[in-house]
Amino acid sequence: MLRQPNKRWTPSHWASWKPFGIGEQYPNNYWEVLRAVWVNRDQFPYAWDILNHGVCDGCALGTTGMQDWTVEGIHVCNVRLRLLRMNTMPAFDAQVLADVSQLNQKRSAELREMGRLPYPMIRQRGEKGFRRISWDQALGVISDRLRTTTPDKLGVYLTSRGTVNETYYAAQKAVRAMGTNNIDNAARICHSPSTAGLKAALGVAATTCSYQDWIGTDLLVFIGSNVANNQPVTVKYLH
């Protein structure tokens, strides 16, 4: 006969007296929610529409608004809240790029918070900074360079922040149509240290089991991992 769980407060089991982990890095998303409301206050209706009708910029689960088919309840993770501002921030004053030497003293966070690029810009060799050009000029420069190169000298690298899977799919199709397989993204590169560490420690550069090994099993044990929060794609396969 199974014992019923103890519903009484058991202070000896508490990690801290602080409610909801207030003050820690991730206090149950409450701090990130408040932060997202504050930094997007100038475009709050638009931000709300993105959360309600958009996809997640931070994972591959394909959310529909704030719901997905993997986890019941609201799906709004800290990563998505952090990336929300990338969609709502205004364009920055392009004059700051007239001389890029002044940007050397800025931290990465300060550069991101400057805003979005308002239109195509170009910097040619010997110039101090960037100047505005039209979309026709920008596409013309790009297409001219593509025509003068060969597939073995062409490579495309994509960011992994604020870009959804549909963008990756369209990009890799376009690049392969140009005749090259030289396309990569930061999501794979960011795991290179872990593969090197696994290779040195275990002799293999990846896990020694497959998702297929999970199918049909009766018990899976995770140690030191909050799978639903940290490995959302894994949760999909568990589902």
H-helix or E-strand spanning residue 130: none
Q: Which of 130, 134, 120 is nearest to 98 (CA)?
A: 130
In the three-class reduction of DSSP (H, G, I as helix; E, B as strand; rest coil), residue 188 is classed as helix
The pLDDT, as a whole number, for residue 27 is 55
User: What residue ranges of the chain have pLDDT lower than 70?
Assistant: 1-7, 15, 19-28, 59-62, 70-72, 161-162, 164, 228-230, 232-233, 236
Note if the pTM is more than 0.95. no
What does the domain layout of the chain look like in residue ranges?
16-88, 91-148, 204-238
Q: Tell me 154's DSSP state.
A: -
Q: What is the pLDDT of residue 229?
A: 66
The tens digit of pLDDT for each residue in 93-143 reads 888 899 999 898 899 888 888 988 999 999 999 999 999 999 999 999 999
Question: d(Cα 173, Cα 168) in Å, to the nearest integer?
Answer: 9
What pLDDT is recorded for position 7?
65
